């Protein structure tokens, strides 16, 4: 198993890519600390990880609230002694055309998708530096690379995550910490539940594979990047899009 003996903290783990990643990591031998604001849904993730044979802890936490994240990390360290892997997956959308986007819509997405990544990473990094090793994986998006209609806030946040990744690669690499980002394309998650069928069809038509991706396909990439098999991959932004950008 790729992650045997590792301890992984995954934000936004209650559903979608976060839940799939927690389960995949559990199947690969990691102990799981699953974090989300949706406490009820988080229980299912924890149960699934435990059913896979992994120690798993579910903690309610808001990545925009630094005190909440610091407390969560403290609980995880008390329970497992260390955090080897951080997956910064928590994210939201508040879509609107630029001229109609409200300040509240902009701020909400920046707070969760960008500041939340900063908060979680800064909370776990001291322990990683002390041990001289660690892995941070950041959720960017194809939107952060190429933009998208109606997503000024989301594109800005996901581009910012790429900036974090490249900077932390330089700063933390000498301390033994690898930092990479994954940029998913159109993935079938609850985030797309409100998208009309005709729009989903057009989205699929843009992808050379002619389908949406599955959350599990992103989780497999995270598991590889978190493992020693990716020991010389640092500062990379991995597109997982079915060829969308071609």
Residue boundaries of the structural domains of the chain: 7-236
Beta bridge partners of 88: 138
CA neighbor of 71 nearest in space, from 80, 60, 82, 81? 60
Task: Give me the count of residues in the chain.
Answer: 246
Beta bridge partners of 60: 36
Burial class (CB within 10 angstroms; exposed 0-12, middle 13-18, buried 19+) of 66: middle
Residues labelled as active-site residues = 154
Q: Which residues of 16-80 form beta strands (DSSP E)?
A: 31-36, 56-60
For 48, other C-beta atoms within 10 Å of its C-beta total 19
Distance of alpha carbon 28 from alpha carbon 221, whole angstroms: 13
Summarised one tens digit per residue, pLDDT across range 233-243 is 999 999 999 99
Summarised one tens digit per residue, pLDDT across range 15-72 is 999 999 999 999 999 999 999 999 999 999 999 999 999 999 999 999 999 999 999 9
Summarised one tens digit per residue, pLDDT across range 88-117 is 999 999 999 999 999 999 999 999 999 999
Who contacts 8 (Cβ-Cβ below 8 Å, separation ≥6)? 22, 25, 30, 31, 32, 33, 83, 84, 85, 86, 87, 226
Architecture of domain 7-236: 3-Layer(aba) Sandwich (3.40)
Note the pTM of the prediction, 2 decimals. 0.95
Distance of alpha carbon 140 from alpha carbon 180, whole angstroms: 10
């Amino acid at each position: 198993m790729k992650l045997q003996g590792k301890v992984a903290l995954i934000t936004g783990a209650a559903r979608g890519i976060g839940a799939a990643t927690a389960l995949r990591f559990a199947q690969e031998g990691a102990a799981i600390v699953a974090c989300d604001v949706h406490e009820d849904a988080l229980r299912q993730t924890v149960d699934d990880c435990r059913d896979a044979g992994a120690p798993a802890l579910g903690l309610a936490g808001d990545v925009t609230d630094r005190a909440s994240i610091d407390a969560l990390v403290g609980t995880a360290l008390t329970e497992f002694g260390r955090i080897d892997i951080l997956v910064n997956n928590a994210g939201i959308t508040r879509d609107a055309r630029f001229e109609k986007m409200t300040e509240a819509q902009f701020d909400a997405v920046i707070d969760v998708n960008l500041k939340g990544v900063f908060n979680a990473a800064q909370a776990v990094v001291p322990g990683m530096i002390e041990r001289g090793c660690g892995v941070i994986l950041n959720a960017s998006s194809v939107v952060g690379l190429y933009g998208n209609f109606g997503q000024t806030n989301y594109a800005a946040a996901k581009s910012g995550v790429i900036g974090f990744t490249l900077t932390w690669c330089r700063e933390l690499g000498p301390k033994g910490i690898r930092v990479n980002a994954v940029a998913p394309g159109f993935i079938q998650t609850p985030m797309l539940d409100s998208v009309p069928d005709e729009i989903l069809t057009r989205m699929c038509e843009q992808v050379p594979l002619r389908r949406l991706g599955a959350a599990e396909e992103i989780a497999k990439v995270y598991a590889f990047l978190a493992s020693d098999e990716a020991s010389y991959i640092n500062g990379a932004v991995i597109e997982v899009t079915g060829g969308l950008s071609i």
